[in-house]
Structure 1
Amino acid sequence: MTYGKRLAALAILDSAIVLTAVYISYFILVPKLSIFENPMLLATSITLLISHHVFASMYKLYNKAWQYASIGELLAIAKAVTFTIMVTGIMQKLFFGNIYVRALAITWMLHVLFIGGSRFSWRMFRDNVMNKQEDIKRTLIIGAGAGGTMVARQLLHNVDVDLKPVAFIDDDPKKFKLDILGLPVVGSSNKIVEAVEKFQVEHIIIAIPSLKKIELNRIFEECAKTKAKTQIIPRIEDIMTGKVSVNQFRDVQVEDLLGREPVVLDIGSISEKVSDKTILVTGAGGSIGSEICRQVCKFYPSKIVLVGHGENSIYQIDMELHNKYQGQIEIVPVIGDIQDRNRIFEIMEEHRPFVVYHAAAHKHVPLMEYNPREAVKNNIFGTKNVAEAADTFGVNTFVMISSDKAVNPPNVMGATKRFAEMIIQSLATTSKTKFVAVRFGNVLGSRGSVIPLFKKQIQAGGPVTVTHPEMTRYFMTIPEASRLVIQAGSLARGGEVFVLDMGEPVKIVDLAKNLIKLSGYKIEEIGIHFTGLRPGEKMYEELLNENEVHPEQVFEKIHIGKAKVIHVEVLRGLIDSLLDMSEKEMHDTLIAVANNEFENTLALV
């Protein structure tokens, strides 16, 4: 129905209601009174009619979407009717010398009843007739606060959604046994399984925007005991910014369960380091490097240089940043290999960055065991090239992305990362550039990480392969790791090895079980197969060894390690001899150096 037709229909309906209300009220009081034979009654009817349309327009009674009518709309009706009656009473006093209070009181009540009834009957029809779909899913809402009631209201009023809320769960005892929007609050989160059975629930929505990760884990464990599909409302910032609506629910992700509470960054110190400066990121097309680019751009550097070896990945991050920051930040995509010393020096000389984030590296542990020479060329010589170019051209701060695998490494990848740390620690003793390294563990969803592999295995029907039932790893989300890297860079004084607080380590088998449940399967359906440790893998990762422990935090979730600095002459001798070694000698030398076994190392050189 067009707006004009809708307006005309409501005006005609209201006119009939007004005349009916006034006639009934006077008929109750004076049954034989005729509206056309009594001037006062005729004037009252005309005044009521005109006044109603005036006040109905003022309170927008003809513009409201009555299928979503609630208390606000009822108040608007009450105000419009009250003012209509008041104007009519004034007219009666002025022209007829008396106000017929009883008649106007009955008219007011009938007026509100008929106008309100006509509007709310449409909502009831929509909710109870139009919303009855055969494939509707009975839905339990976790959280009876602002988020939960918003979700329930949306579902109750939206005919296009096949979810019907039937009850709330909330841990606040004050809400137990209350009805909210006609739905009962049936108990706390330990009643989820019972509520699913009682109300025949097929769908669960977790609707608590402020929920902490540990509480989400606990609630999800309860939901996983049922057969109902579990989803979560979008992030509150996405709702507020209009990216999504409140009823665009998403599946619970493993990042929701394993991620930690967000760190509040020191915006001032980061802005001082990044805003209006030239920033260079190596490995800018990788999962960590590209996220560092995204986070850095939020502080509006004057220029960001995206350095990477793979043209496709650099193209993708370049296009993404151009679409978002075109005309605000100069974005320069550069194809270059960090192993190419001349090319790296050219790039550094041309752009003269203020801060360099060095994220380019080979990071796959088993692959580097089979290809130690490539690990050395990229992780050691590549880092040396970028770091020495930064020193030569006066970069203010150089931040190298390291790894927890650099601690007591039994593998080539970790050993080359520790070796790279030693290079920048050595440079920090003589350079004006502030050289620092940042260590953290596994990053959820990064390329080559275990989660994408598990997801593919689940999609293929299983089994999920886990190396060992006791294997544990530290995990962090890509955005959190990148933000803390940028924060650590702002704290740099030179020579530090910053260590990010990774929280508690997670068993890989528990991660696999969670992913299977999140994908809607039972663990028995997919299965878990243990394959044994691969070459170079450790059962448990560390972020600092016992000689490096420095428990105080220099910033929330950021520690400074006390990693030992190798003698400069020993380091230079090792670097010069590395590529002349056999792969076996190279492997043994790297691991000896990384574990500070210098006597053994010197014997090998």
Structure 2
Amino acid sequence: MSYRKRRFWLSLSDAGIISLAVWLACLVRFDFSFTEISEYQPMYLMMGHVLFVVTGMHFAQLYRPVYRYVSVRELVSIFSTTSISILALYLVLKMTYLLGWSIRFPTSLFLMTLAFVLLGITGSRFVWKWWYEEREKRTQDRRRTLIIGAGSAGVLVAREMKTSPLSELRPVAFIDDESSKQNLRVYGLPVVGNRADIARVVQRLSISDIVIAMPSASRQTIKEIFDICKTTRASVKILPHVADIISGKITMNMIRDVALEDLLGREPVQVNLEEITGYLRQQVVLVTGAGGSIGSELCRQIARFGPRKLLLLGNEENGIFEMSLELSRLFPEQETVSLIADIRDRKRIASIMHEYRPAVVFHAAAHKHVPLMENNPCEALKNNILGTKNVAECALETSVSHFILISTDKAVNPTSVMGATKRIAELLIQGYNHFGLTRFAAVRFGNVLGSRGSVVPVFLNQIRAGGPITITHPDMERFFMTIPEAAQLVIQAGALAQGGEIFILDMGKPVKIVDMALDLIRLAGLEPGKDIPVVFTGIRSGEKLYEEILTAEEGLSSTCHNRIFIGKPLDFSWNELLAGIARLEQIADKGATLEDKQSIIEILQGIVPGYHSTSYVKEESTPVPYQVAIG
């Protein structure tokens, strides 16, 4: 508390104590006779005592000491100053009485007042001391925290930490890159350097926690700051989006741990809400694979735009049931229909399409696990190719307006059965676009953070189990995006689709899997190599080191959305495609022997020229521990 504030509150407190002391002295001196008390005009007597004693305190500079350190010396000063001040008032009133200007006040009244004032003021100083000590004790129990960003958001965070009884964090200092703020105090806390000083400041000030309070900063900036923070042993947290700060709703439980999404190093994709609203509002919308990670997020996003009816289709009953419950809670006015169906069942799909007549179809149902599909190629054929063929043909029969396929970057120059089957699904979509009125399009993107079976949940489970984290190769890279980004891109593509396009997201730079694993370990508050070992196991069948978003022949053309591009469609023979699919269907129907698996690969290579299988070119590998450089 500043000197001025402390002086004001102590003066006000003393004034109250003195007034109460005068009143108590009058009550005791005149035996609680209010008639007799009124003759001595106690209000004027109170004002006189307050004026003399408080003024005396100011002249004696007794409001300057910090009373968490109150000592005998201060108490003696209070006693002498109070006694002299009341004696001075007594002498003034005695003189006015002798001059005939006032009545005579009993001497005992002043002695009683002095006793009560001394008791009250010295008692208050001990109360102040106790209050300071208790507050300091609570503050010391809190973890010392460095706030990155000394702007308005940082001030809000510091204030919340200081005032919230729920806060376990104690703000110690700010870090800010603006040179004009260096060596200044912001909200009573010093600005002790810029981001380059973080490690030094954490060590010098014994910081245990860091809060990044820069809600308007780019993801690239957040990643750069986190990369510096992770060299320390401090726990790193981050402030939520700027919209929550503008609304003034910051609370301590909104300060969350840094998530992997914050470290993608690029800005999240933004969608054109007006365009989306136009083709979804008051329409019947069907989502296949609605119980999966992408399908369920598509349903959440679509429900925001008020479709007339939202059809949730999937063959996994628990996922569909949970999605239906969630939508009924989040969007109670939205009509949803839960449909348990297998996209490989042509009759069931046709029945649903004819009954509900959807205007928009988002086809998210697919088998996506690369190693599993290498060992079960017939299931990949049935689901990813024949299932897509069934849904697309039924969409044509019922004159669906928009059909959007969710594809993958693994369809580009595939080395896996899964990637090859998804590439054939893209070709089917491009071919069907030439028939009927339906606008067919595909959306191609990379790995989705947090989707079921993806690398992040696997790593998290390995960290919870105490390790090791297993990675196939130290140079393996992947493109990543968040689940909401993926869903929004798919929906935006539907608005942009004119028919036959393959939409591709600018996903920034690919991320090394080993770097992601190390970030996850540090986000868990652990040290790579020491707390959690990292082991390389060798590339699995069907995997490749680097993913691509398009072939060299495709090229890119821009759209009105600065993060979405269109891959140029390649020429192919529609009849040869259907003939190859027919051959694959024959093999899939009878079940695949080892010889059939080789036939499947050869047929896939005939349909997808860029497909190079690695299933039968497999190196024997021995797990190798990863040596992590710390420092």
Instruction: Assess if the C-alpha contact under 8 Å between 2:406 and 2:442 holds in 1.
Output: yes
1:357 and 2:362 aligned: yes
Aligned counterparts of 1:225 and 1:160: Cα–Cα separation in 2? 29
1:396 aligned residue: 401
Deviations 1:177-218 (CA, angstroms, capped at 9, x unpaired): 111222111010111111111111111111111121111111
Shift of 1:595: 2.3
2:300 to 294, 300, 316: 294
Shift of 1:513: 1.2
2:422 aligned residue: 417
1:434 to 432, 436, 439: 439
1:57 aligned residue: none
Shift of 1:263: 3.0
Shift of 1:21: 13
Structure 2 residues not aligned, in runs of 5+: 1-11, 24-36, 51-122, 588-595, 612-631
2:604 aligned residue: 590
The correspondence of residues 132-211 of structure 1 with structure 2, limited to 5 A, is 132-133=137-138, 135-211=141-217
1:488 aligned residue: 493
2:448 aligned residue: 443
**Most deviating of 578-587 and 506-515:** 578-587
- Supply the AA of the counterpart residue of 1:420: A
2:372 aligned residue: 367
| Local SS of the residue matching 1:555 | coil
Aligned counterparts of 2:404 and 2:128: Cα–Cα separation in 1? 60
2:135 aligned residue: 130
Aligned counterparts of 2:127 and 2:286: Cα–Cα separation in 1? 61
Instruction: Assess if the C-alpha contact under 8 Å between 2:577 and 2:607 holds in 1.
Output: no
Instruction: Assess if the C-alpha contact under 8 Å between 1:426 and 1:565 holds in 2.
Output: no
Instruction: Assess if the C-alpha contact under 8 Å between 2:153 and 2:245 holds in 1.
Output: no
Residues 127 and 152 of structure 1, relative CA distance in 2, 3 Å threshold: farther
Aligned counterparts of 1:173 and 1:369: Cα–Cα separation in 2? 57
Shift of 1:554: 4.0
Instruction: Assess if the C-alpha contact under 8 Å between 1:150 and 1:246 holds in 2.
Output: no
Shift of 1:258: 1.3
1:460 aligned residue: 465
Instruction: Assess if the C-alpha contact under 8 Å between 1:234 and 1:246 holds in 2.
Output: no
- Supply the AA of the counterpart residue of 1:423: L
Instruction: Assess if the C-alpha contact under 8 Å between 2:157 and 2:250 holds in 1.
Output: no
RMSD of Structure 2 on Structure 1 (CA):
3.0
Instruction: Assess if the C-alpha contact under 8 Å between 1:36 and 1:42 holds in 2.
Output: no
2:291 aligned residue: 285
| Local SS of the residue matching 1:589 | helix
Shift of 1:238: 5.0
Deviations 1:165-187 (CA, angstroms, capped at 9, x unpaired): 11111111111111122211101
- Supply the AA of the counterpart residue of 2:402: T
Instruction: Assess if the C-alpha contact under 8 Å between 1:205 and 1:233 holds in 2.
Output: yes
Aligned counterparts of 1:335 and 1:244: Cα–Cα separation in 2? 42
Larger Rg, first or second structure (1 or 2): 2
2:541 aligned residue: 535
| Local SS of the residue matching 2:586 | coil
- Supply the AA of the counterpart residue of 1:523: P
Instruction: Assess if the C-alpha contact under 8 Å between 2:407 and 2:445 holds in 1.
Output: yes
2:575 aligned residue: 569
1:7 aligned residue: none
Aligned counterparts of 1:570 and 1:252: Cα–Cα separation in 2? 50
- Supply the AA of the counterpart residue of 1:383: T
- Supply the AA of the counterpart residue of 1:428: N
1:379 and 2:384 aligned: yes
Instruction: Assess if the C-alpha contact under 8 Å between 2:414 and 2:610 holds in 1.
Output: no
Residues 557 and 148 of structure 1, relative CA distance in 2, 3 Å threshold: same
Structure 1 residues not aligned, in runs of 5+: 1-11, 24-34, 49-117, 598-605
Aligned counterparts of 1:565 and 1:303: Cα–Cα separation in 2? 37
Shift of 1:527: 2.0
Aligned counterparts of 2:540 and 2:129: Cα–Cα separation in 1? 63
Deviations 1:256-310 (CA, angstroms, capped at 9, x unpaired): 1016323332222111111111110000010000001111111111110000010
- Supply the AA of the counterpart residue of 1:560: I
The correspondence of residues 448-527 of structure 1 with structure 2, limited to 5 A, is 448-525=453-530, 526-527=532-533
- Supply the AA of the counterpart residue of 1:278: V
TM-score w.r.t. the length of structure 1 is: 0.78
Aligned counterparts of 1:451 and 1:318: Cα–Cα separation in 2? 26
Aligned counterparts of 2:450 and 2:124: Cα–Cα separation in 1? 51
Aligned counterparts of 1:346 and 1:121: Cα–Cα separation in 2? 83
Query: For this pair of structures, how many residues does the alignment match?
Result: 504
**Most deviating of 513-522 and 303-312:** 513-522
Aligned counterparts of 1:553 and 1:527: Cα–Cα separation in 2? 45
The correspondence of residues 51-66 of structure 1 with structure 2, limited to 5 A, is none
Instruction: Assess if the C-alpha contact under 8 Å between 1:239 and 1:245 holds in 2.
Output: no
2:558 aligned residue: 552
Instruction: Assess if the C-alpha contact under 8 Å between 2:173 and 2:192 holds in 1.
Output: yes
1:226 and 2:240 aligned: no
Instruction: Assess if the C-alpha contact under 8 Å between 2:22 and 2:42 holds in 1.
Output: no
**Most deviating of 126-135 and 416-425:** 126-135
Instruction: Assess if the C-alpha contact under 8 Å between 1:280 and 1:306 holds in 2.
Output: yes
| Local SS of the residue matching 1:398 | strand
